[in-house]
Amino acid sequence: MTISSHKLYGPKGIGGLYARRGVNITPIIYGGGARQLHPGTQNVASIAGFGEAVHLAQKNRKAESVRIKKLRDKLEKGIFKTIPKVVLNGHPVKRLPNSLNISILDIEGEAMLLHLDDKGIMVGTGSACNSESLEPSYVLTALGNPYEYIHGSIRFTLGKYTKDSHVNYVLKTLPGIVSKLRRISPINLKLERKEAISQPKAFVGGQTPHFLRKRQHKNK
């Protein structure tokens, strides 16, 4: 299991590896080094910074978890209240307090990401390590989610500097973006075409289609 320092607000470019005893690790880059796992001199300053970040995170973990969970729950309830056809991805209780992964149907997550970014709101469409990829999330795929759910998924991650005002801004901004994208969504247009084919306009309001009226008149 790997742990990234920057996820704990520590220095970038440093991390930790937890390996079970007896597991043989093959180096990615061969060379010198006391432990023969990585060549070059160890980055002592970053290691010390990482250690301090872990210490501070552990010290404030309980209080921050409670605070962030309240903000996450407020965000979740607000989204489900103001936007129809939204699905929660994952367990409703057994999850991290700082993460919210949802699928907004009839829209692609990539389109939402771009529009939210334009408004200064940063979200992801997959896991953080795969945020640059357009491939469907392998986690949501493994959960058995339908294709359209997976491609409409976005991930909100709250953190140390997230405030109540930030959540309010998202709740104020997101519904308008969803409404706009649904109007122009290829998925939505495809569904509308199917409905139009299955329900011809001539039958709207109980009126008999023109070609049937002619046929009925001839039979008389």
Residues labelled as active-site residues = 129
CB atoms within 10 A of CB 60: 12
Alpha carbon separation from 89 to 11, 72, 153 (Å, rounded): 31, 14, 8
Q: List the structure tokens of 167.
A: 């959540």
Distance of alpha carbon 194 from alpha carbon 189, whole angstroms:
9
- CA 23 to chain CA mean position, Å: 33
* DSSP-derived pairing of the beta strands 153-157 and 99-104: antiparallel
Task: Tokens 């140390």: give the residue.
Answer: 160
